Amino acid sequence: MSKVNTIAGQELRDMFSAATTWLEKCSADIDALNVFPVPDGDTGTNMMLTMRSTMEEAFRAPDHSASGVAHAMAKGALMGARGNSGVILSQIWRGMAQGLDGKEAFDSSGLAEALQKSAEVAYNGVSNPVEGTMLTVMKDAAKEAKAQAGNGEKDIVNLLEAVVNAAGDSVARTPRLLKVLKDAGVVDAGGQGVYTILEGALRYLKGETELMRLRKPQMIVSDMPLTVPLPQAIGVDEIPYGYCTEFMIKGEQLDPDALKKRLLKKGESLIVVGDDTSVRVHIHTLDPGMIVQFATKLGTLHQVSIRNMDEQHQDFVEMQKERMPTTDTAVVVVASGQGLMDVFGSLGAVAVIPGGQTMNPSTKDILHAVESVPSENVIILPNNKNIVSTARQVQELTEKKIKVVPTNTIPQGVVALLAFDYEADFKENAELMEKALSTVKTIEVTRSVRATNINGIQIRKRQPIGLLDDELIAAGDTDIDVIKTILSELDMEKAEVLTIYYGEGIEASEAETINNSITEMFPNLQVELIKGDQPHYSYIISIEE
């Protein structure tokens, strides 16, 4: 293998394009490293989508110098950043661009300087940097690059190989730095993502592109003895938008149940209903052609509809804009599930961005919504802790005045919107809404995606689990067991209103039973039941004081 002493813009672009493809091969495995065994572990998906946006912009760069490509990558990463991991990744590319600014090409010392700048900018971009995360892995990688360059290493391949090894060691050490990782028996997901990207770039420079097609990236294992079994790699084939695909199959001896099993892992929001002669299918997928091709083998297709949900998203925002009158301050919220979207719309949200767990909107998605509303003052309610930092990126991309009220949950978003005062100005409303967040507690009930031990609670795979204000504190045999356990831990004498939002796939009768159980427990409490349609979480419960 020949030495690589310098890298210009096109090779910089191509090496990280290969790295993006490499990351895509294990994004679901990275998702499965989520500390809490909830089905919204989406670090791998967010990093993958951020990298796709990064590289799309890189291939559009008119300036093919290293500096020009790096700045294009930084721009693409910023616009496509999804979730906390995506935002931090965008800061890494921003630092890379600063480190390569003005350079036509770079050598090993230049790469070391750029990686050092990437780590610095990433740390500076986080208000409270935590060690044992992707920040640590990036810092350790940059430190090794600096050491290699300082020792006179001229071959970029050799330098990057040492960097990748250092990153892998750093990922393995993350449970030593974060107790929550140690308890869960996993390494940091974002750190694994950084390692995979660097490894993909290295493999490209080593000429292993053909080998990369046949293999999958290595998943780093903790260097500590595990106290719980290694997590299973749960395939999380969550689809951010894609195509809403619907059709009717007519034929003979059709089997709706068998068809449903065949399509289960091909997309999201799958509905298969019918009998042995007619079956209706609805699915959200990134590859509608594959679905349709498969279906044509079973019978004749009728009423075929394939709609681009990205365009539907923009149409929805435009519709909201036309419906709402011009106001001094507009509120933009993020929500997933038609019921929840309707709730926010009825409370006065001017635009509702589809998204949330496993479907974090990008900076660009939020920016489009902000620009679409008929107000120069915009308050954003992310309603998810993983979207707060993404929303904050919007301020530097628009001339409008932006305030992000850091709502981490749907109930916080609701009480914030209820606190909005149409007589108050922009600043006063932001303060009122932020103050309201402390008046509500949030219970979320879901199913564990793996067996683990968290906060001293032994959890089985697929067992109902409950979180109180984002902290996992209960597991049980049924949803109501979990809910009762959490409610028993709270001082309910101060509570005035309890609202139950029941999720996608939950029957109204089942939700009504839980509603009645809570009413029996707390006869003086006002209990409300609302169909939220939220995915992944069977129940979201708001407790207002």
Higher pLDDT: 101 or 283? It is: 101
What integer is the mean pLDDT of 458-478? 91
Grouping H, G, I as helix, E, B as strand and the rest as coil, residue 530 is: strand
- Confidence check: pLDDT of 405 > 90: yes
- Confidence check: pLDDT of 40 > 80: no
Least confident of 237-241, 302-306, 442-446: 237-241
What integer is the mean pLDDT of 99-108? 94
What integer is the mean pLDDT of 164-169? 93
What integer is the mean pLDDT of 244-249? 78
Higher pLDDT: 485 or 213? It is: 485
Q: What pLDDT, on the 0 to 100 scale, is given for residue 4? A: 86
- Confidence check: pLDDT of 240 > 70: no
| Domain residue spans of the chain | 7-214, 243-310, 311-438, 440-544
**Residue 355 contacts residue 336 (beta carbons within 8 Å):** yes
127 band by pLDDT with thresholds 50, 70 and 90: low
* 7-214: CATH number: 1.25.40.340
Phi/psi zone of residue 152: left (φ > 0), alpha (ψ -120 to 50 degrees), beta? left
What integer is the mean pLDDT of 527-531? 89
Q: What is the pLDDT of residues 52-97, one digit of tens each?
A: 999 999 999 999 999 999 999 998 988 888 877 887 898 899 999 9
The pTM for the full model equals 0.62
What integer best gives the mean pLDDT of the chain? 85
494 band by pLDDT with thresholds 50, 70 and 90: confident
Q: What pLDDT, on the 0 to 100 scale, is given for residue 451? A: 87
- Confidence check: pLDDT of 227 > 50: no
What integer is the mean pLDDT of 98-107? 95
The CA radius of gyration of the chain, in Å to the nearest whole number, is: 24
Domain 311-438: state its class: alpha beta
Q: What pLDDT, on the 0 to 100 scale, is given for residue 84? A: 76
351 band by pLDDT with thresholds 50, 70 and 90: confident
In this structure, whether the domain defined by 440-544 belongs to CATH 1.10.760 is answered with no
382 band by pLDDT with thresholds 50, 70 and 90: very high
Who's near 359: CB < 8 A, 6+ residues apart? 42, 238, 240, 336, 535
Residue 485 to residues 105, 466, 475, 480, 482, Cα–Cα distance (Å): 61, 9, 8, 8, 5
Q: What pLDDT, on the 0 to 100 scale, is given for residue 36? A: 62
Q: What is the pLDDT of residues 16-36, one digit of tens each?
A: 999 999 999 888 888 888 766
C-beta atoms surrounding 483 within 10 Å: 24
What integer is the mean pLDDT of 476-504? 91
Report the percent of the chain where pLDDT is more than 70: 89
- Confidence check: pLDDT of 412 > 60: yes
User: To the nearest 5 percent, what fractions of the chain are helix, strand and coil?
Assistant: 50, 20, 30
Give domain 243-310's CATH architecture: 2-Layer Sandwich (3.30)
Q: Which of 185-199, 274-288, 314-328 has the highest mean pLDDT?
A: 185-199
Residue 94 sits at the vertex; the CA angle it makes with 90 and 99, to the nearest 5 degrees, is 145
- Confidence check: pLDDT of 326 > 50: no
What integer is the mean pLDDT of 426-437? 93
Q: What pLDDT, on the 0 to 100 scale, is given for residue 224? A: 59
What integer is the mean pLDDT of 450-476? 89
